[in-house]
Structure 1
Amino acid sequence: MTQVQAFAALARLVARGAGLGRPLPLADPDPDPATLLGLAQRHRVILLMERGWRDLAARGEAGPVPDLIVAAARQEHGRALATAAALARLARGLDEAGVKWLALKGPALAHQLYHDVTPRTARDLDILVDPHDLVPAVEVARRLGWTIADDWQRLAQLSGKYDLELAPAKPGLPPLEIHTRLGHGDMFAPRIDTVSAPHRVAIAGYAVPVLTGPDLLVYVAWHGARHFWFRLNWLVDLAGLLTATCDGQAVVSTSRAWGAERSVRAGSLLAERLLGIDAPALPAPSGTMMRNVARLVGWAETRLRIDPDHDHVVRRPMSFLWTIRETRSDDAGWRGLLPLAKRLWLPRECDARQVGVGAPLAVHLVARLPLLLNRLVRDVAATAWARRR
């Protein structure tokens, strides 16, 4: 089974498991389970794949679900329950501290899509908080078992990045990401105070605030487009939201307000092509928008079919190519290159620690160029050496 064949089989199984679109038969009714399981693990769709396989088996279109996939799905089910429990504890702590926040993706999105927290695999938790509540949110997370460097505020000032990554310090806790806005610079500006009032859904017995309606769909589309849907689960999320909506005008209006129309249209087209869904009718785009959407879909199809763990994805300097394209996934297009330049110029944590976190910002800015060039030269040399061998 080739990579392309395995991905096509996985997409069809997952679409069945998620209850999406027109159920497409497998080209091979007896695909290699080990190959599919490895791919499903990397695309984080094990439970949906197992559901799809069970559906095919019940219809007599495939053999019984292989034992190794059943065992992996059982393990994933337990992980999903533990992640949901962690979100409920965090939610209670944030609410008690008076933090204005809402949950993004993860168990909350699984509940909204399937009325069950387990079908959607989540390796971490993502939350959006009011920028003024960032410090108390970090304090709550630390108290509940997550860790972050004591100098995180200084690092955030130096890098201009307030998307924090907290590591678990207790068994069973997933990593936690705390965001203060849904994007970089002014390209995708919504913060928690600019989105519609959050709805609450019950997760492990606690009401968790979430995005809903067009806001949720546009956010999921934007997030997937930023990463070119390199994990299939992000496209499945969007497909589920698209099939549940019938107001294409509201979706496009919201996407334009958020600067993410390109993401919504590309995601809708991809979901139709790869998952066989019947996407809602959207108002006709302009010619320029359609060309940009076609370009984004082409990039996404290429990226989605590359194995998520293939070294081509992360090997520098080619990985910088994805950063530039990522910027162009927003409606800002080439105007987004200025914020991108700012992101590249500001020091990252590794550079800040090498120079000294306590050093003035001017020193970090001066040191950034030689540090970046040194890294690029070493990466180019390593790539050239690997090719010669």
Structure 2
Amino acid sequence: MHITNRSQLISYLTPEQRLLISVCSAEESIGRAEVRDLLVKPFSWERLILLSERHKLLPMLFKNIRAESVNFPIETPSILKEKFIVQTQHVLKLASEGIRISNILNREGIPSILLKGPFLSQQIYNNDALRPSRDIDILILPDNIERVNEILRNEGYRRVYPDFELSKKQKIFYQHYKNQYAYRNPHNGCLIEIHWRLFSQKILFPTPTEQVFAERQELNMAGSPIHVLSKKHCFEYLCLHGSLHQWFRLLWLRDIAQLLNDKENHLDELLINAKKNGNERPVQQAIILSNLFFGSPEHSAITKSNNLVKSITNFAVTAAIGSEQKTLSQKITRLRIPFYKMKLKRNINYKLSCWSILHPNFNDWKRVKLPDSLFFLYFLLRPFIWFYTFYIVKKKRES
């Protein structure tokens, strides 16, 4: 699939995809102007709602459909409102718990930044319930990992990722090559991911974590001060996050469109900053895609994008409008992902780091227990454990 303009993209979309994108576009955008025409054409509410859930756009779909219905009668199925209420209640629960944990960390002298979810939603949409989320993401400084681990345990949380105690070498390896632990509270059901850097690959976002904290932005939520990424770091982080995941959720592109529509964000400065970090390709890809899908502003530097940027952009278009199962597959086809990721940056060390799929992980350590003195054997065993896990074991379960 080779897409060069929005009209061409639209021709590939189903009626439900086209309607979802139009309804969720910014109020004054070209896409939003098409909503009423699309609503009178044949489409399936069931498929539209399923699609909005896949792309995490259901709250925005409900909110904007309701806004359109003020002057244009729209009969919506009750299930849409029911799902909106359930998702909103869950997000508000996460927001409340995130603020509570942030306040506890603050009292203990541990700085933190709340990422994504309701906190990003409040930052860029001025509405904490527009972004569905399954967990609370908190960024901390690496030196505070053990202290935060202890605090969360005292608050009733248990680590579930990894869900066993790591040996000394496993912990060193994991914290060097990975960037997060996950904790769940069995009493309130909340899941918290603690990050000690923004990405597993350090070279992907070379700005020191200390600088990210020094430039963080303060917000007020529910009467409490919290900290989020600065607009500059937020934009680059979201571009990188979406690009790594091939933009298979349209909410991520809608976030980019929202930031680009904010006149306080000067695109030239954002591009310069991204280039300093070697991240101009993911940022260019994000800007092109947000323009294709949501009609966000174009930029003269982007219209002259090279063939590599066009290649990764078309790869992402296929992921965004194609099958989610194919994008998330753990089978041998997953090997196409490192080749895609290698195109995101020029740096040779980054390209090598894209093959972390070959690294042993905690699932390997859990399945095959070796003493630290034999840790090196995990590298040799990795392909065999992977094949056994995703083909032999999975086949047995399915049968």
Q: Report TM bin, short chain.
A: 0.7 to 0.9
* Structure 2 counterpart SS, 1:190: coil
Tell me the residue number matched to 1:352. 365
Matched, 1:80 2:80: no
| Distance in 1 separating the partners of 2:389 and 2:131 | 39
Deviation at residue 380 of structure 1 after TM alignment: 7.3
Q: Deviations over 1:82-139 (max 9, x none)?
A: 0100111110111112112211111111111222211111111112111111111222
Residue identity (%): 19
TM-score normalised by L of structure 1: 0.86
Tell me the residue number matched to 2:118. 107
* Structure 1 counterpart SS, 2:215: coil
Matched, 1:135 2:173: no
Tell me the residue number matched to 2:29. 21
Tell me the residue number matched to 1:186. 203
| Distance in 2 separating the partners of 1:4 and 1:302 | 13
Q: 1:305 aligns with which of 312, 318, 321?
A: 321
Aligned pairs (5 A) from 1:175-254: 175-183=191-199, 184-195=201-212, 196-245=214-263, 246-254=265-273
Q: 1:322 aligns with which of 337, 357, 373?
A: 337
Q: Deviations over 1:178-227 (max 9, x none)?
A: 22222203232234212252121122332111112222111111111111
Please list every run of 5 or more consecutive structure 1 residues that lacks an aligned counterpart in the other structure: 385-389
- 2:136–2:193 CA contact under 8 A, matched in 1: yes
Deviation at residue 50 of structure 1 after TM alignment: 0.6
| Distance in 1 separating the partners of 2:296 and 2:319 | 20
| Distance in 2 separating the partners of 1:162 and 1:128 | 13
* Structure 2 counterpart SS, 1:58: coil
Deviation at residue 250 of structure 1 after TM alignment: 0.9
C-alpha RMSD over aligned residues:
2.9
Aligned pairs (5 A) from 1:49-64: 49-60=61-72, 63-64=74-75
TM-score normalised by L of structure 2: 0.84
| Distance in 2 separating the partners of 1:143 and 1:90 | 11
Matched, 1:338 2:352: yes
Tell me the residue number matched to 2:7. none
Deviation at residue 242 of structure 1 after TM alignment: 0.9
Report the AA paired with residue 29 of structure 2: G
| Distance in 1 separating the partners of 2:137 and 2:254 | 18
Distance 1:140 1:307, change over 3 A: farther
Report the AA paired with residue 340 of structure 2: R
Q: 1:7 aligns with which of 7, 17, 32?
A: 17
Distance 1:251 1:266, change over 3 A: same
Deviation at residue 270 of structure 1 after TM alignment: 0.6
Tell me the residue number matched to 1:151. 165
Please list every run of 5 or more consecutive structure 2 residues that lacks an aligned counterpart in the other structure: 1-11
Tell me the residue number matched to 1:116. 127
- 1:182–1:191 CA contact under 8 A, matched in 2: no
- 2:288–2:302 CA contact under 8 A, matched in 1: no
Report the AA paired with residue 25 of structure 1: E
Deviation at residue 322 of structure 1 after TM alignment: 1.8
Deviation at residue 348 of structure 1 after TM alignment: 0.3
Alignment length (residue pairs): 373
| Distance in 1 separating the partners of 2:238 and 2:365 | 32
